[in-house]
Amino acid sequence: MSRRRRRLAAVLAAFLAGALLLAGCGAAGAPPNLAPQVTAHRPLPANAQVNPEIDNEGAVNDDCGNPTASLRPKGIATPRGSTMAEIKRRGILRVGVDQNTFLFGFRNPATGNLEGFDIAVASEIATALFGDPNRVRFKAITSQQRIDVLRDGTVDVVVRTMTINCERRELIEFSSVYFVAGQRVLVTKRSGYTGLADLAGKKVCATTGSTSLSNIASAASGPVPVAVDNWSDCLVLLQQGQVEAISTDDTILAGMAQQDPATHVVGPKFTSEPYGVGIPKEDTDMVRYVNAVLAKFRKSTWQAVYDRWIEPALGPGTPPEPTYK
Does 263 engage in binding with ligand GLU (CB under 6 A)?
Answer: no
Nearer to ligand GLU, 52 or 76 (CB): 52
Residue 31 Cβ vs ligand GLU, minimum distance, rounded to whole Å: 56
DSSP letter for each residue of 209-229: T-HHHHHHHT-TT--EEEEES
Binding ligand GLU (rule: CB under 6 A), the pick from 145, 232, 248, 291 is: 248
Q: Annotate each residue in 272-301 with x if it binds ligand GLU (CB under 6 A) or - if it does not, as one string.
A: -x----------------------------
Q: Are 231 and 105 in contact (CB under 8 A)?
A: no
Comparing CB distances to ligand GLU, the nearer of 162 and 219 is 162
CA–CA dist 163, 122 (Å, integer): 16
The DSSP line for 4-46 is HHHHHHHHHHHHHHHHHHHHHHHHSSSPP-PPPP-PPPPPPPT
CB nearer to ligand GLU: give 125 or 252.
252
85 versus 171: smaller Cβ distance to ligand GLU? 171
Residue 118 in the binding site for ligand GLU (CB under 6 A): no
Distance in angstroms (rounded) separating the CA atoms of residues 245 and 212: 12
**Does the footprint of ligand GLU cover residue 230 (CB under 6 A)?**
no
**Are the C-beta atoms of residues 245 and 223 closer than 8 Å to each other?**
yes
175 binds ligand GLU (CB under 6 A): no
Longest dimension (CA), the chain: 105
Contact between 145 and ligand GLU by CB under 6 A: the answer reads: no
Pick between residue 83 and residue 210 the one whose CB is nearest to ligand GLU.
Answer: 210
Told to check if 100 binds ligand GLU by CB under 6 A, we report no
Q: Minimal distance in Å, beta carbon 172 to ligand GLU?
A: 12
Among the listed residues 121, 162, 235, 243, the single contact to ligand GLU using CB under 6 A: 162
* C-beta separation of 145 from 98 below 8 A: no
210 binds ligand GLU (CB under 6 A): yes
Instruction: Check residue 4 and give left, alpha or beta (phi > 0: left; psi -120 to 50: alpha).
Output: alpha
- Residue 90 beta carbon to ligand GLU: minimum distance, rounded to whole angstroms: 27
Amino acid at 177: V
**Tally of CA atoms within 13 A in the half-sphere of 85 that contains its CB:** 7
* Positions in the binding site for ligand GLU (CB under 6 A): 143, 161-163, 207, 210-212, 248-249, 273
